A and B are shown apart, each in its own frame.
Chain A
Amino acid sequence: MDAIGQFFAMGGYAAYVWPAFAIVLVVMALMWFTGIHGWRKSEQTLAALRSNRRQREGDAE
């Protein structure tokens, strides 16, 4: 138990070490998910537009 507490205390620098690591991970995760989300959304929009178009071309014939 003591070892774990010591680890989290970071030699008294817990208030600096943990926020630094946390913000890096949070920002990297945010960039990752916004990137993937934006890509997925663009795929869906593109697919919808294409099927619309195909439909209209089918109607025209």
Chain B
Amino acid sequence: MKPFGAVIARDLRLAVRQGGATFLALVFFLLTVTLFPLGIGPEPAILARVAPGVLWVAALLAAMLSLDRLFQADFEDGSLEQLTLSGLPLGGIVLAKIIAHWLTTGLPLLLAAPVLAVLLNMSDEGFAALLLTMLIGTPALSLIGAIGAALTLTVRRGGVLLSLLVLPLYIPVLIFGVSAIDAAVHGLNAKPHVLLLAALTLAAIPLCPWASAAAVKLSLE
């Protein structure tokens, strides 16, 4: 357990020292959300109607854009290979890095979402569901995204490829996340949607690190 925590702590320390990345993800989130009222008009009713979807889509994109730093820097300077010598299985290293990634992107996005929801005039009933679905759903974004990040590790300028690989896999998270908030806003039972989202994340916890580790191993060979 010790090296596992050490990997998380190391990644967090690096993220803090290099700063920037979390901040950029947040700015991107804010900027994307700002574009929607400018694009579709400022009528409060329309904005309230699209708010859950816009927030989730923007969070999805912000999380995706931060994926490239999940393994890339460590792979290039060789520290990823060194980590594999620490005795921790590769799947464990990958999971630790995913957790660190979530702490530095998913969590900040989750905390910023209510503020942006206010900007979009989302109705009050939706806020609890928004926070809950983001809490359950954003880990899945980091988990699924890790597979894409690992697969494109050796690809030069893999950003576009990464989005092509990852975005289709994000669709179920988007659908269940938004439908839960929509249900809450309309006074319906949001529980089935939330449970499905939770099932998705729970299934991703063992499967995604395993698949990502297989892909990372390829690049290290």
- A–B proximity contact (CB within 8 A): no
Interface residues of A (CB under 8 A from B): none
Interface residues of B (CB under 8 A from A): none
